[in-house]
Each structure stands twice: as structure tokens, then as C-alpha cells.
Copies of this chain bind each other. A is one copy, B any other.
Amino acid sequence: MNGAQSLIRTLVDAGVDVCFSNPGTSEMHFVAALDSVPEMRGVLGLFEGVVTGAADGYARMADRPAATLLHLGPGMGNGLANLHNARRAHTPMVNVIGDHATYHKKYDAPLESDIDALAGWLNGWVRRSEHSADVGADAAAAVAAAMDTPGKIATLVLPADVSWGDGGQACEPVPPRAPRQVNETTVKAIAELLRGGEQVALLIGERACRETGLRATSRIAAATGAKPFVETFPSRLERGAGLPSIERLGYLAEQVTYQLDGIKHLIVAGTKAPVSFFAYPGKPSDLVPEGTQVHVLAELDEDVPGALDDLAALVAPDTEPVLQEASRPAVPSGQLTPQNWVDVIGALLPENAIIADEANTSGLLLPSATAGAPRHDVLTLTGGAIGYGIPVATGAAVAAPGRPVINLQSDGSALYTISALWTQARENLDVTTVLLNNRAYAILRLELQRVGAESSGPKANQLLDLSGPDMDFVKISEGLGVPATRATTAEELADQFARAVAEPGPHLIDAIVPPLF
């Protein structure tokens, strides 16, 4: 057994049986070893940002890591933006980065670079396998590190000779560290606070955005009058009819200021107190209102849903959660607008859907339109690095083959990782991409005003404009093997969306929606 074979065997034994891959020469022994471990599924991406984004989407839905296979430093570089998003999502992931053979590095061959510097950038777990005999143990440690609470990105650098060398030993899985239990004193103190009669808000994040945490949060809110909020960009939010519907904190500082107005105590569980996404001249970065005290119920490395359950048992023992009733908007009619397209989705969202949401400005009204739709998961852009939607939808579909995946995708962001469509076609994944084509970096038009830039002359505006030429996403999608249609009216979108969802395999709808701004 060579190093590569021991690596794949160990990964599979630890439950990591999908490897999103974009290999090169230094990874050829890993590629060859795939045939020796039948349980490992290799999924090809034509760009590393597709690979890392897919691994992110996969793990958000599977609750266990996928592996990635990337080619040296430049390959890892191409994957960094979606690794950044995955880091912010606390996604478990195991990157295998091929490197030159140990003895080859000193020659500074063209692809030589400091891989460790890039891996370190992710603030996760990094190890460089030095001997073929160690690769199995390194892989087992990597999976355990990835499965920590919260999830982490584990990066294993695999020199080519360590990969091809003999003496590999597959290793037993290493149990990941259990989450810390929240201190009882803390829960009691927060319970006292909730009973104190002052205006309280409860902000939840991470694992608390699943059913258990949402129900506990809803009970606490109902029993105490605390205002509940979900963090702005949850990695995975369960919602829809039959679940508590809890408002997300806004992206814009102005929204958050409004949402937290009058709050004396802000309790956070599994997330941080809100800060502005960007700095703006003369505006605060810290969005906690003046005079509001922040209290931490549970840190990210703790059992956050457990803490919420404990708190609910104290302050809301007999209170039921408030559940969202089933309710859908009517299918609208007329030209598509930023206001009406979301109602098409709300009206027609299939049962048990997964929404990969990178609609950005076009999606401002999406949450209310889909609140009473059948139960679904929403994956959001946790790290702000655009180009995440198509890959994440791809990975989510690999993880959840029985569930329809809906990718709501803005045009400006789509081009970063567009080739993920090809992977969807190749793997025949059930993904419907609604491409919100407003022909602009609309969010930047808004931001240009919000940062108080003095002038916004023709050259500045030109840099935020995606028309000239208009992109034809029907052609791009068909060119990548995904059947596509164009919708300019709500009726067309409704018709095309219903058909796309009904048919197996990937589809794309180029929805011409004017910019909100």
C-alpha cells in the first residue's frame, strides 16, 4: 500500500467518501489510488474554487467533511476564496494539497511556492506528511480536526514521493473532540436576566440555526418577550412551515440599528455580537447599540443547541415554540422585478428544498416570500467572498441526492465559478439555478453611495456595470452542458421553474430582473 492508498482508505474509514478534485501531475498517484478504494467517489471540478465551494456545500448538508484534492500552491490559491467562506461557515473539510516530492523542492521548479503560508491563512489545522508510513495517521488526525466543534478546515500537504512511496498504513478513525458543555452558572445568570424585565434580544448562530436550536429559541422568546434573531449569514438555516420563523439580522448597519433599537441586553449563542460588514466614514463598526450589554450564553466551541435547551427548560418549561404556518404568495404576473421574482420562488418552492442563496441585492425580499413555504434549508454566503453559490449548490446536491437544490444566483457573482455548472451536468445533479441577471454589480452601486465617495463619474459607474456586452447565461449554461431557458416575466419564470424542478438533472433559468438600486 502506498501513501496515497493509505490516505484514501483512512479517509473512507473515517466517513469521508467524497473527494472534490482538480488534480495535477503531483497528485497523479492519489488519482490512481482512487481505483483501489471503491467507496471513495471522485468528483471533478474544472477550477479549484468549484472544488472548495462544493466541499463546503457538501459538508453543510452532510454534517461530515468532504475531501478536496488540489494541485500545489497555485491550485490552493484558486481555492482560497471559497475556503474563506467555508472557514466562516465553520465547515468541516479535509484538503489534500499535493506538493513536489520532498527532494524536489530545493530546485525551485516553476510550480514551487510556500503552500504552508496559504494553508496557514485559513486558521485551521495544517500538517505536512513527511513519510509514507505516516500518511494514514495524518489523515485520521485531519478528519478529527475537521470534525471539531465548531468545524474546521484541515489541510494536509502531501509531497508526491510521500504519496507514491510504499509502507502506507491505513488508520482507524480518531474520535473528534466533544463540544464543551455550557456552564450551568452561565445559563442560570442568563435566565435571571431574561426574567429581569429589561428589553432583551437573543442572537443565535451556527448549529442553533437548526430545528433544535430554533425551537428552544422560540420558546425562550415566547415565554420572556426577548426578541430573537438569527445571525446575518448562517451557514445553514432550517426554516419554512412547521418551524419557528426567526428574523435574520440585516446586512446593512442601518437595518441592525433598527432591529436592536431599545435593547438593553444582547444574549449571543453560537455567534458574535454584530459588527458592520464594512467600515463607512463616520459610522460605527460595532453595531451593538450604545448602552446595550452583551452576554455570551454559548461560545462556538460549546454545545450551543444544548445551552439553548437548558435555558428554555429554566425560563420556558411549559411554553411551546411559535411555528410558522404554511402560507405561500400567489404566483405574480408581469415583467420580472426585484419585488415579484421572489414570490415565484415562494409560491413554487418544492418540498424539502435546499436553497443556496447568492442572490445578493436581488434577494432582499426573499426571506418573507419563502417564510411559509414547505420546510427547507438555506445556505448563505458566510464569508462575503462572492462566487460561492454555484459550487455550494453542487456540493449540497452531492450530499443530499434526494432533495431539490435551488441556487439563487446573482450574475456578478456567477462568473467567478461558472464552470461548476459543468460538474452539475456531469454528475447529473438536481440543481435549479435561477440566475438573477441585473447586468450590474448592483450592490457596489449602493456601496459607492454608502461609503460617501465624493464623485461617481462615468469611469466609476462603468466599473460597476455588467452590460456592454450583456451576458447570455442561456448560452453559457448550455455550453457547459446544463439546459437553460430565459424568463423576462413572472409567468415565464413560474413555468420554467416548475418544469426545471420537476425534471431530474440540472437546469438554469436566466431571469432578467432589473437592479433594485
Residue numbers of A with Cβ under 8 A of B are 2, 21, 23-26, 28-29, 31-32, 34-36, 42, 44, 46-47, 49, 73-75, 77-78, 80-81, 84-85, 88, 100-101, 103-104, 107-111, 113-114, 117-118, 120-121, 160-161, 164, 233, 272, 275-279, 281, 285-286, 382-385, 387, 412, 415-416, 418-419, 422, 425-426, 443-444, 447-448, 450-460, 462-464, 466, 468-481
Asked if residues B28 and A453 are in contact (CB atoms below 8 Å), the reply is yes
Query: Considering the chains assembled together, what is the distance between the CA atoms of A426 and B475 in angstroms?
Result: 18
Asked if residues A49 and B34 are in contact (CB atoms below 8 Å), the reply is no
Query: Considering the chains assembled together, what is the distance between the CA atoms of A426 and B439 in angstroms?
Result: 13
Question: Which residue from chain B places its CB closest to the CB of A118 in the assembled complex?
Answer: B121
A-B CB contact pairs (8 Å), 26 listed: A21-B463, A25-B277, A25-B443, A28-B444, A28-B453, A31-B463, A32-B455, A34-B463, A35-B456, A73-B121, A74-B81, A74-B85, A74-B384, A77-B77, A77-B84, A78-B416, A80-B118, A100-B278, A101-B285, A109-B276, A118-B121, A160-B279, A164-B451, A418-B419, A426-B468, A472-B479
Q: A77-B84, A81-B78, A111-B277 are in contact. Are A34 and B385 (CB under 8 A)?
A: no
Question: Which residue from chain B places its CB closest to the CB of A82 in the assembled complex?
Answer: B74
Q: A425-B469, A448-B31 are in contact. Are A114 and B121 (CB under 8 A)?
A: yes
Q: A26-B278, A111-B277, A276-B107 are in contact. Are A416 and B468 (CB under 8 A)?
A: no
Query: Considering the chains assembled together, what is the distance between the CA atoms of A474 and B472 in angstroms?
Result: 12
CB distance from A444 to the nearest CB of B (A): 7
Question: Which residue from chain B places its CB closest to the CB of A277 in the assembled complex?
Answer: B109
Asked if residues B77 and A277 are in contact (CB atoms below 8 Å), the reply is no
Query: Considering the chains assembled together, what is the distance between the CA atoms of A49 and B80 in angstroms?
Result: 12
Chain B contacts for A35, CB-based, 8 A: 455-460
Chain B contacts for A464, CB-based, 8 A: 31
Question: Which residue from chain B places its CB closest to the CB of A467 in the assembled complex?
Answer: B426
Chain B contacts for A387, CB-based, 8 A: 47, 78
Chain B contacts for A121, CB-based, 8 A: 73, 77, 113-114, 117-118
Q: A471 contacts which of B28, B31, B480 (Cβ < 8 Å)?
A: B480
Asked if residues A278 and B479 are in contact (CB atoms below 8 Å), the reply is no
Query: Considering the chains assembled together, what is the distance between the CA atoms of A148 and B237 in angstroms?
Result: 52
Asked if residues A415 and B47 are in contact (CB atoms below 8 Å), the reply is yes
Query: Considering the chains assembled together, what is the distance between the CA atoms of A88 and B108 in angstroms?
Result: 10
Asked if residues A77 and B81 are in contact (CB atoms below 8 Å), the reply is yes
Query: Considering the chains assembled together, what is the distance between the CA atoms of A91 and B220 in angstroms?
Result: 60
Query: Considering the chains assembled together, what is the distance between the CA atoms of A35 and B464 in angstroms?
Result: 14
Asked if residues B481 and A104 are in contact (CB atoms below 8 Å), the reply is no
Chain B contacts for A382, CB-based, 8 A: 110
Copies in the complex: 2
Asked if residues B104 and A285 are in contact (CB atoms below 8 Å), the reply is yes
CB distance from A171 to the nearest CB of B (A): 21
CB distance from A256 to the nearest CB of B (A): 13
Asked if residues B418 and A456 are in contact (CB atoms below 8 Å), the reply is no
Q: A31-B463, A459-B34 are in contact. Are A46 and B160 (CB under 8 A)?
A: no
Asked if residues B453 and A277 are in contact (CB atoms below 8 Å), the reply is no
Q: A74-B385, A384-B110, A422-B471 are in contact. Are A455 and B36 (CB under 8 A)?
A: yes
CB distance from A187 to the nearest CB of B (A): 26
Chain B contacts for A36, CB-based, 8 A: 455
Q: A31-B444, A109-B275 are in contact. List 20 more A-B contacts (CB 8 A).
A: A23-B463, A24-B444, A28-B451, A35-B457, A35-B458, A74-B85, A78-B78, A80-B80, A80-B118, A109-B277, A110-B383, A161-B279, A422-B469, A422-B471, A426-B468, A472-B478, A473-B479, A475-B478, A475-B479, A477-B479
Query: Considering the chains assembled together, what is the distance between the CA atoms of A154 and B139 in angstroms?
Result: 37
Query: Considering the chains assembled together, what is the distance between the CA atoms of A104 and B279 in angstroms?
Result: 6
Query: Considering the chains assembled together, what is the distance between the CA atoms of A422 and B411 in angstroms?
Result: 13
Chain B contacts for A114, CB-based, 8 A: 121
Asked if residues A88 and B110 are in contact (CB atoms below 8 Å), the reply is yes
Q: A44-B462, A47-B415, A460-B35 are in contact. Are A25 and B451 (CB under 8 A)?
A: yes
Query: Considering the chains assembled together, what is the distance between the CA atoms of A281 and B132 in angstroms?
Result: 14
Chain B contacts for A462, CB-based, 8 A: 42, 44
Query: Considering the chains assembled together, what is the distance between the CA atoms of A239 and B32 in angstroms?
Result: 40
Q: A100 contacts which of B84, B279, B426 (Cβ < 8 Å)?
A: B279
Query: Considering the chains assembled together, what is the distance between the CA atoms of A448 and B31 in angstroms?
Result: 9
Chain B contacts for A32, CB-based, 8 A: 448, 453-457, 460
Chain B contacts for A457, CB-based, 8 A: 32, 34-35
Query: Considering the chains assembled together, what is the distance between the CA atoms of A395 and B31 in angstroms?
Result: 35
Q: A78-B81, A418-B419, A478-B475 are in contact. Are A385 and B111 (CB under 8 A)?
A: yes
Query: Considering the chains assembled together, what is the distance between the CA atoms of A227 and B35 in angstroms?
Result: 46
Question: Which residue from chain B places its CB closest to the CB of A276 in the assembled complex?
Answer: B109
Asked if residues A275 and B415 are in contact (CB atoms below 8 Å), the reply is no
The 3 closest A-B pairs by CB, nearest first: A35-B457, A469-B481, A77-B80
